[in-house]
Amino acid sequence: MMHSHPPRPHTSLAWAVLVPIAAGSGCSEPGVQMTLRPEPGLLMRHVAERVLQDFPTSPPFDWGEGTMMAGMMRAGLTLNEPRYIAFVQKWADHWRTAGLQRVLDGPANASIRSYCGHWGPGLPVILLYETTHNPAYLDMCRQIASFVMTKATRTPERGLGHWGGNQQLWVDTLYMVCPLFSHLNRLTSDSSYMREAVQQLEIYARRTQDEQTGLFWHMYDDPAKNCMGVLWGRGNGWVAMSFVEVLGNLDRHSPEFTQILGRFRRQMDGLLDVRDT
């Protein structure tokens, strides 16, 4: 994401463990047994407990904290620990009361406004709605989605810009949009959300997925018509999590599922080729 927002103290460790949890929507093959060390449940609990210590008050409604909150939701559900879910609920209630519109718009005098990092926290909020069935959380998610659909900057081919007025496709933008939209589609039966998620994955893949390696470039500059940066490791993580969330909510018999799965497999093959041995 934007380098003007460095990781807060202690959250780097939380991201390192909770990001895989946040993406854990069941992509392993049935019957496959995995042995991981240290044991994931213990590690998950250790990090989640540290998060509770580090954030006595509700953190910002931004991309890093949103990713952490998605991990806390998944940790709470996996470990059957209501304190983790209550932590997310307190944060969501804080921002529901404070008002999301000013967060989504950004400060009037800011050089960068309508920043996509403020859309990403919609994922833990939709997970919270799915858990509590409180319609207030669904309303928050719909507000974020409406902002994206009606106010976000787009390239001529409808790709979402990283912030207002920006004509660049930064791959981390995918994780700020696609997981939330795919869950909204499943929970509301409004197919426009899934169409948008699939459209963004395809636009971004067409412009930023390297033909030779299957990996994704940091971003595509539409005015310059070329990719910039590198085949970014963390950026490929954002893309992979976006693929997993959307595939987990898509009809497995749809042509879109086959298309996205093919893109995902190419990326995974590319990552296997460059892994440490």
Pair 135, 79 in one domain:
yes
Q: State the pLDDT confidence band at 30, using cuts at 50, 70 and 90.
A: low
Query: In this predicted structure, what is the pLDDT of residue 9?
Result: 39
pLDDT at 39: 87
- Provide CB contacts within 8 A for 179, sequence distance 6+: 70, 123, 241, 242, 245, 246
176 and 270 both lie in a single domain: yes
| Domain of residue 275, residue span | 154-277
**Which residues in 113-131 are b (16+ Cβ under 10 Å) and which e?**
ebbbbbbbbbbbbbbbbeb
Residue 14 lies in a domain: no
**How many other C-beta atoms lie within 10 A of the C-beta of residue 144?**
26
Q: 160 and 265 share a domain?
A: yes
Say if 21 falls within a structural domain.
no
Same domain, 114 and 223: no
Question: Are residues 239 and 127 part of one domain?
Answer: no
53-91 tens-digit pLDDT? 999 999 999 999 999 999 999 999 999 999 999 999 999
Confidence of residue 8 (pLDDT cuts 50, 70, 90): very low
Please determine, for residue 225, whether its predicted confidence score (pLDDT) is greater than 90: yes
At residue 192 the predicted structure's pLDDT band, cuts being 50, 70 and 90, is: very high
- Asked if the structure places residue 129 within a domain, the reply is yes
What's the total number of domains in the chain?
Answer: 2
For residue 15, is it within any domain? no
Backbone angles phi, psi at 227, to 5 degrees: -80, 150
Query: Does one domain contain both 213 and 140?
Result: no
The pTM for the full model equals 0.88
- In this structure, is residue 18 part of a structural domain? no
Of 131, 151, 171, the residue at which a domain comes to its end is 151
pLDDT given for residue 5 in this prediction? 41
Q: Is the pLDDT of residue 14 over 50?
A: no
Edge-to-edge strand order for the sheet containing 168-170?
Answer: 168-170, 219-221, 226-228
Determine the residue type at 46: H
Whether 222 maps to a domain, the answer reads yes
Average pLDDT over residues 162-171: 97
Pair 163, 275 in one domain? yes
User: Is the pLDDT confidence value at 179 over 50?
Assistant: yes
**Domain stops at, among 118, 151, 184:** 151
The answer to whether residues 161 and 142 belong to one domain is no
171 plus 67 within the same structural domain: no
What average pLDDT does the chain have?
90
Residue 105 pLDDT level (bands cut at 50, 70, 90): very high
Classify residue 25: in a domain, yes or no. Answer: no
Per-residue pLDDT, 16: 44
Which has more confidence, 12 or 185? 185
